[in-house]
Amino acid sequence: MNKNTIPLLGFITLLFLTATKARSEEPAQEKKPAVRLLTNIDVGEFGSEQLRIGDLDGDGGPDLLLVQSEYASRSITCLTALTIEGKVLWQVGTPSLSNGRIYSDLPVQIYDWDDDGENEVLYVKQAKYLEPWNITGMFPASKTRERAAKYEGSATLIVLNGKSGMQEQSFPIPAAADDCFLLADLTGRGRRGDLVVKDRYWNAWGIAHDGKELWHWSGSTGHFPAVADIDDDGKDEVFFGYTLLDHDGSVLFSKDPNTEWSSRFQQIGEKPTKKDYQRLLSTPIHSDANCIVRLASGQLRLYFGNSGPHCMQPDGKELWSGVQMGEAQHVVAGRFRRDSEIQLAIIDRTPTPDARKKRETAVADFYLFDLNGKQLWKQPQQPGDWMIGCTSVDWRGPKDLEDILVYGRSNGQPSQLINGEGKVVTEFEMLYKPDRRSQEPEAWSEPLGIRNYYVLCADVWGDARDEVILFGARGLCIYTNPRPLADPTQYNETLYTGM
């Protein structure tokens, strides 16, 4: 052995130990957060569990519209337009801390109604309920209104200027049509400039752009229909779950399980009894979720939920069979995995008849099915989490898989982002600015206190991915994905373009 070998080895060993010690003394690299809080808005007295998204100030970026109402009546009391940073653009009506909670969907949309390149706000002002069909003690709140035996005047569709909130137009619509509505092309205009309006559960109307009533249909409307040009005639059909209507209101198919519809839900004598009221106010068997999906082949699939998920062809043929549930409240289509073209995220809010006897112990089941009705996985939820909902979210970016956002867990727990394998990717906490819980202990108590919140997902930041928006009666916050998006227009750049 060379006499210099041992000193050399010693020197190398010393360098190694010194470097190892130096690395061990370096601070651990912080893990990059999975979400970034984009904004946390002080909603003052105009907070709400009802939100719409669209460009209102004309700058090309999405804005927000918070909608307050008199609880359990669907009577809109205040509209507040604001930017995603929280700057109030305008306000119509009077805000109130008492009107932030909602009982049901509300008749409000943002849309370029007059096709002038700028959005308007459309909402419905109720007719006066002269003889509301209500039963003392039937509902927890005496103001609950579902139907009326007699109205004064008509309901009114009001159109507001998106920039100022000033009224631009109004026209009458059927008195009972004060539930949610949606835009559709019923007349072949080439754009969705007509309306489908409805009452809570029993009637729907087609309304032309000029306010003319095109048709009336009585049947199980469910909560919110879906529209699409199913027969390629340039006009939208309307899908109510059990029933598909053509653009002119004619029935293309109906699987409505409600029998004796007219005598049960539409007729009442001059001196109705309590039993008559109960019959008319009873909720018909209805669809809880409706969606129309066009596959890569061009074929259409019509999905809805109730006593289980249903998948149909446009001719009404049922493609799934034997998939039974207690209450398939949410049916959300998306590409959550790569092993099939489309998957369906489904929530069963009543997996057993006893599941909802006590709210604090009520449960729900969360499923994923493939296009052919095969169950891919099932996740029983924790006791008390029976009111969960879900929606799809494009969190990762274009051409990547979607994820599922689950919200509505008990006691205001964070919403969860779940991938197609059923694993929790990250969570989103509902934030409040300021936090008023200590000042309003009764309002925040369960069940269904104002700690309940809802979510919407939309690209409001312009990064080609969805942001997650959490909103409730006392707060509104927006989260975005902090990871850089691998946009091909933002790398491999050169001075020599096109050469």
* Confidence bin at 25 (pLDDT 50/70/90): low
pTM: 0.91
CA atoms within 13 A on the CB side of 312: 24
pLDDT band with cut points at 50, 70 and 90 for residue 231: very high
Contacts of 329 (CB under 8 A, 6+ apart): 288, 289, 305, 347, 348, 349, 389
Identity at 484, one-letter amino acid code: P
* pLDDT attached to residue 118: 98
Residue whose structure tokens are 């009404």: 316
Judged on CB neighbours under 10 Å (0-12, 13-18, 19+), 265 is buried
Report the range of poorest mean pLDDT among 88-97, 287-296, 311-320, 440-449.
Answer: 440-449
Tell me the mean pLDDT in the region 208-223: 96
Phi, psi (5° rounding) for residue 250?
Answer: -75, 150
Amino acid at residue number 7: P
Q: What distance in Å separates the CA atoms of residue 281 and residue 232, rounded to the nearest whole number?
A: 38
pLDDT band at 330 (very low <50, low <70, confident <90, very high): very high
Reply yes or no on whether the pLDDT at 407 is more than 70.
yes
Is 217:207 a contact under the CB 8 Å cutoff?
no
Grade residue 141 by pLDDT with cuts at 50, 70 and 90: very low
Distances (CA, A) of 222 to 255, 312, 320, 470: 13, 17, 20, 25
pLDDT single digits (tens) 279-320 = 887 888 899 899 999 999 999 999 999 989 999 999 999 999
Query: What is the C-alpha separation between 107 and 124, in angstroms, rounded?
Result: 6
Q: Which two tokens stand for residue 151?
A: 């109205």
Structure tokens at 139: 């509902």
Laid out side by side, the sheet with 88-93 consists of 51-54, 63-70, 75-82, 88-93
pLDDT at 21: 52
Tokens, residue 235 = 């006009």
pLDDT given for residue 328 in this prediction: 92
Integer angstrom CA distances of residue 463 from 62, 186, 232, 400, 476: 13, 34, 34, 14, 20
Q: How far apart are CA 415 and CA 429, in angstroms?
A: 7
Q: Tell me, what's the pLDDT at 6?
A: 46
Confidence of residue 28 (pLDDT cuts 50, 70, 90): low
d(CA 318, CA 59): 46
Query: Does position 140 have pLDDT exceeding 80, yes or no?
Result: no
User: What's the rounded Cα separation, in Å, for the pair 125 and 127?
Assistant: 7
